[in-house]
Amino acid sequence: MWKIKQIFDGDYGCEELQPGQKTKVSVTLVDNAGNEKFVTVEDDWLTENDLDVGSEWPVGV
């Protein structure tokens, strides 16, 4: 089982999004053995799925 350890918003406002492009964030996931992996997802997707630090990561994503 993977859990969200950290969510990093790397957008500091120095680059504008292209029309239709959504804000993305980097997510650090950790499993029960302490292994980490990193994924990039749309910030809106996290909100729509009620995911935050400490949340269990959906299987298959």
What are the extents of the domains in the chain? 1-9+23-56
Q: Are 41 and 25 in contact (CB under 8 A)?
A: yes
Q: Rounded to the nearest 5°, which phi and psi values hold at 44?
A: -60, -35
Confidence at residue 11, expressed as pLDDT on a 0 to 100 scale: 61
* pLDDT tens, position by position, 3-56: 999 999 876 556 677 788 888 999 999 999 999 999 999 999 999 999 999 999
Say how far apart CA 15 and CA 6 lie, in whole Å: 23
Q: Are 57 and 2 in contact (CB under 8 A)?
A: yes
Confidence at residue 34, expressed as pLDDT on a 0 to 100 scale: 97
